[in-house]
Amino acid sequence: VSEYKFLEQYGEVGEYFRLELKMLFRNKRSKSMFIMGCFLIMMLTGMLFTPSYEGELGKSFVCIYNFAVLGILMLTHIMSFEGNYLDGLMSRKESIYTLLRAKYYFYSLCVIVPFVLMIPAIIMEKVTWLMAVSYGFFTTGFIYCMLFQLVVYNNKTTPLNDSMIGRQSTGTSYQNLKRLGAFGLPLMISTILRSIFGETTGLWILLILGLLLTSTANIWIKNVYNRFMKRRYINMEGFRDSK
C-alpha cells in the first residue's frame, strides 16, 4: 500500500501524485500540517450544527473555509517543500509542470471530503446544495488558481522534518500578501456578490467562475509553469540558500 502501485496506470502524473502522497505522509512537518487541515475541516463541519452559524454570513464563512482550509494551509507552501529536492526535479524535462498538475488533482480530490461530511447538514437544510457545490468549485477554480501563483514567487525552503513551530520560511512581502489574500478574499468576494446580486444569483456566479477556472486548469497551470521556468535560477538559488 505504501508504494501506491495503483497510481502506475496514470503515467507520469501518477508518479508525481505518488511523490505528493509520500511527501505528505513520510515527513513530520507536512504530515502535521495535513492532519491539522483535516482536523479543521471536521471542526468547521461541526460548526454548521451550532446556533452561532445559522446566519447567512456564518454559513458562508464555514462553507468556504471548509472546502478551502486544507488547500490554503498546504498550498501557501507550494514549492517550498519541494525546495529540499528541487535540483532532482529539475533534471527531468517538464517535471515541474507534471508535478503541478498532480498537486492540483490531489487537492481537488481532497475537496470531496468536506462535501461528503456536509451531506448531513445539507439534508437537514443547514446549507443548500447550491451553496455546497458553488463553494466547492469556487475552491478548485478561483482559490487554487490564486494559490498556484505562489509557485512563481516562493523561493524559501520549508524543512520537511522540523516541527510546525520549528524554523519557518518567512517569504517575501508579495508571498505574505498572497497568503493573506488567500484567507480574506474568498469570503470578501462571496459577500460582495451576494450583497449585489442576492443569495441565489451570487452563488450561481461563484459556481460559474469556479467551473470556468476548474475546466481551464491545465491552461493556467501551464502559464504558472512557464513563468516559473523564466525565473527558475533565482528560485533555485533561494531554495539552496534557505536550506
**Tens digit of pLDDT for each residue in 177-231?**
766 777 788 888 888 988 899 889 999 999 999 999 999 999 999 999 999 999 8
pLDDT of residue 101: 94
**Tens digit of pLDDT for each residue in 26-57?**
888 889 999 999 999 999 999 888 887 777 77
pLDDT of residue 206: 93
Portion of the chain with pLDDT greater than 90, in percent: 42
Q: Report d(CA 84, CA 79) in Å as an integer.
A: 9
Confidence of residue 2 (pLDDT cuts 50, 70, 90): low
Q: Report d(CA 68, CA 176) in Å as an integer.
A: 18
Residue 170 has pLDDT above 60, yes or no: no
Q: Report d(CA 153, CA 86) in Å as an integer.
A: 14
156-173 mean pLDDT: 65
Query: What's the chain's average pLDDT?
Result: 86
Tell me the angle at which helices 217-230 and 232-241 cross, rounded to the nearest 10 degrees. Answer: 70
Nearest to 146 by CA among 44, 226, 231, 68: 68
Confidence of residue 90 (pLDDT cuts 50, 70, 90): confident
Q: What is the grid cell recorded at 170?
A: 518567512
Q: What angle do CA 64, 218, 37 make, to 5 degrees?
A: 35
